[in-house]
Chains A and B, each alone.
Chain A
């Protein structure tokens, strides 16, 4: 049974969102704002529905999703590999450690015009820009996770006669995986942010291009609809990432509680 206190909290929590949405709708309906500055929520939802039915929304969302995923997967594979090598291989560690620690805090998006110069304005530059922005947290978390694997685990496996390859696949990688996933979970929102910027600056369809294109046509309804769509996409991808983590780490202590 929910107590009265819990019900009251639930009411306040849902009311805060509802009041906000209602204020949005009313301020537009009562002409406190212009349709250009803040189009009514109902108009935005209608547009979202219309573009979903015509297939335009799905096409744009798919473009954005594929770009973000391509860049993210590239960053994940390269980042995990590099992160492990950073710890396991002395030469790789020596060479890349300073590059990674300098690269991590850089505002990578400033390199976008450079990527355009090298790779053009189409998919290649966008995907590589996304991967470049997302790779650093993956490398750093993977290296930290690999570094922190308990020595006893490795020693006991070795004393039982495991090969180095088995030790890597069966001990080091699983033991480091919680931190690897944390790195991936940091990299995913970054990949989405950068995808949207690339699409806004360089065009080439996708939700970012929809949002900025609508703005340039003074069609605010389109911009707001695009933002709701990208928010849903962001929400879904973050949730799915969480599920993937839980699926792969089902054996780990963190999933037992």
Chain B
């Protein structure tokens, strides 16, 4: 407990400085509303339902895109590692896609799917796909050949080999890829919401900013930051659980 306090004391100090600067008039309140004001604004957003409505919209987009990219990514990565034909077909395309800053594809998704949730899901999906495919591919390719041979020698069918041997053995890499994908997914989600507008936590931030409601804007930024942070920490816990059998 004491170690925890000492470790996170700097965050508290920073919060104290943040509160003191505008309260003492050293910084313009409009430019930096103190945390106490931000907390009030957060509660207002919570009661008005704005936070819940926009947060839920963002969450649904993120979850859909992640589920899609995880399933497609693992499928693609494993088949590329197992079948040289699949590798030869998909690798050049993925290599061509790799250096594109994925945020540049958001306008194309808007052209294709309009100004709605589909464009956001597609943008986040494209951003998340590559890290998952790449890490699954390397993980699945690194599986010890003897494991595959022994499972085959006891009569495992190709699907069973992939499901029971290759995917579990590649799991550390796959999960590391998904962790990267979650971080990139948040970036693309908020970028898409800033551009598409209408709904979502990114939209809420830019709306409050443009309306000059800065305490609310700070509250929304802190909310999405907390969400990104907690998502990462929660996923690390899931990773430890899922990999506990390896020890």
Contacts and interface: CB of A to CB of B under 8 A. Distances in A.
Question: By DSSP majority rule, is chain A's interface helix, strand, loop, or mixed?
Answer: helix
A183 B218 CA distance: 29
Nearest to B14: A99
Interface residues of B, number: 58
Nearest to B201: A110
A109 B10 CA distance: 23
Contact of A110 (B14, B93, B112, B205): B205
Question: By DSSP majority rule, is chain B's interface helix, strand, loop, or mixed?
Answer: helix
Interface in A160-217: 189, 192-197, 200-201, 207-208, 211-212, 214-215
Contacts of B244: none
A79 interface: no
Interface string B214-247: 1001101100110011011100000000000000
Contacts of A110: 190, 201-202, 205, 220-221, 224-225, 228
A122 interface: no
B78 interface: no
Given A102-B229, A201-B195, A94 B93 contact: no
A235 B88 contact: no
Interface stretch (A80-88, A151-159, A224-232, A243-251): A224-232
Contacts of B88: 9, 12-13, 16
Interface residues on A, range: 35 or more
User: Which 7 A-B pairs give the minimum distances between C-beta atoms?
Assistant: A113-B209, A234-B99, A105-B232, A107-B186, A235-B99, A12-B88, A215-B107
Interface of B: 6-8, 10-11, 13-14, 31, 84-85, 88-93, 96, 98-108, 110-112, 183, 186-187, 189-191, 194-195, 201-202, 205-206, 208-210, 214, 217-218, 220-221, 224-225, 228-229, 231-233
